[in-house]
């Protein structure tokens, strides 16, 4: 099993395919296995890197840095693999990794896809929506997963079961693991715009974790960014609607790819 010694941890990762490099950064309910519907598709066109964030999946968090180290962990992994330039496809929590790495290394990122993530681009309206959503979450039937639309389990019980099983491979995290620091009122939109990285925002119209309006606001604040709203999907569009997600992301990546995307990993490794 491939592990990279980076930033004080042994980071689990896999590399599939060949071509320009695309990194997939999972959300808090997932790990590298979450992308099982993306890797076979995108590895036909790109070198695909999946990994487990520290304290998720097979990666432990020995020095207890948590999410503060996510962006530097990715930098260490890319250094380990000898990869210079990447596109990053991120879901939810993974958006913190994608944006953090991009703001530190703007010349190394040729495209970002943020699924169910505002990437830190917020204003007073989106902050209020988030606070109201946390204080008064939408009612849901017992046993449903907030990361999926309400009707998904009935439509596709097999994939809903697998979603839960992937999620249960992670250790438990404190309820405030991803909480915004008290009193923080900043936004990333100006720095994201200055980075020059093309961005595609993706949101499910039934997302109860990152309400669609908050993603619309995020995209509107970053000039040139794109927005895709997906009907009949909740927070995990990549999982519920993989064909729609994959085709839209592929079209975006092909459109924004520089002539020399470069930086393909030098070897193929997997479990």
In tens, the pLDDT along 119-167 reads 999 999 999 999 998 888 888 887 789 999 999 999 999 999 999 999 9
Note the pLDDT of residue 261.
52
Place of tokens 């505002």: 118
Note the pLDDT of residue 264.
45
User: How many helices and strands, by DSSP H and E, does the chain display?
Assistant: 10, 8
Where do the domains of the chain lie? 3-170+186-256
- pLDDT higher than 70, residue 267: no
In tens, the pLDDT along 183-240 reads 778 899 999 999 999 999 999 999 999 999 999 999 999 999 999 999 999 999 999 9
224-227 long-range contacts, CB within 8 A, separation 24+: 224/193, 224/198, 224/199, 225/192, 225/198, 225/199, 225/200, 225/201, 226/198, 226/199, 226/200, 226/201, 226/252, 227/200, 227/201, 227/202, 227/203
Q: Bridge partners of 23?
A: 49, 88
Per 3-state DSSP, the chain is made up of helix, strand and coil in percentages (nearest 5) of: 35, 20, 45
- If you classify domain 3-170+186-256 with CATH, what class do you get? alpha beta
202's CB contacts (< 8 A; 6+ apart) are 113, 114, 115, 116, 215, 227, 228, 230, 237, 238, 245, 248, 249
Confidence band, pLDDT 50/70/90 cuts, at residue 263: very low
Q: In this structure, are residues 261 and 111 in contact, taking their beta carbons and an 8 Å threshold?
A: no
φ/ψ (deg, to 5) at 253: -60, -40
The whole-chain average pLDDT of the chain stands at 92
Taking residues 81-89, report their average pLDDT.
97
Taking residues 91-112, report their average pLDDT.
98
């Amino acid at each position: 099993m491939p592990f990279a010694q980076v930033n004080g941890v042994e980071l689990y990762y896999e590399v599939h395919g060949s071509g320009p490099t695309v990194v997939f950064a999972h959300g808090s309910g997932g790990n590298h296995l979450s992308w099982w519907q993306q890797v076979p598709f995108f590895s036909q066109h790109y070198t695909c890197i999946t990994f487990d964030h520290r304290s998720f999946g097979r990666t432990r968090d020995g020095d207890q840095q948590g999410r503060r180290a996510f962006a530097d962990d990715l930098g260490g992994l890319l250094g380990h693999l000898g990869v210079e330039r990447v596109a990053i496809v991120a879901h939810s929590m993974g958006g913190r990794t994608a944006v953090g790495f991009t703001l530190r290394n703007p010349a190394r990122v040729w495209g970002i896809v943020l699924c169910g993530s505002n990437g830190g681009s917020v204003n007073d309206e989106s902050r209020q929506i988030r606070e109201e959503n946390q204080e008064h979450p939408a009612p849901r039937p017992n046993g449903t997963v907030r990361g999926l639309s309400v009707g998904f389990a009935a439509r596709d019980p097999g994939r809903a079961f697998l979603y839960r099983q992937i999620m249960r491979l992670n250790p438990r995290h404190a309820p405030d693991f991803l909480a915004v620091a008290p009193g923080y009122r900043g936004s990333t939109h100006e720095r994201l715009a200055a980075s020059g990285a093309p961005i595609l925002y993706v949101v499910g119209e039934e997302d109860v974790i990152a309400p669609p309006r908050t993603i619309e606001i995020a995209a509107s604040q970053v000039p040139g960014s794109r927005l895709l709203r997906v009907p009949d999907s909740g927070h995990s569009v990549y999982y519920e609607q993989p064909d729609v997600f994959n085709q839209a992301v592929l079209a975006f990546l092909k459109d924004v790819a520089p002539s020399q995307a470069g930086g393909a990993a030098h070897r193929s490794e997997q479990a």
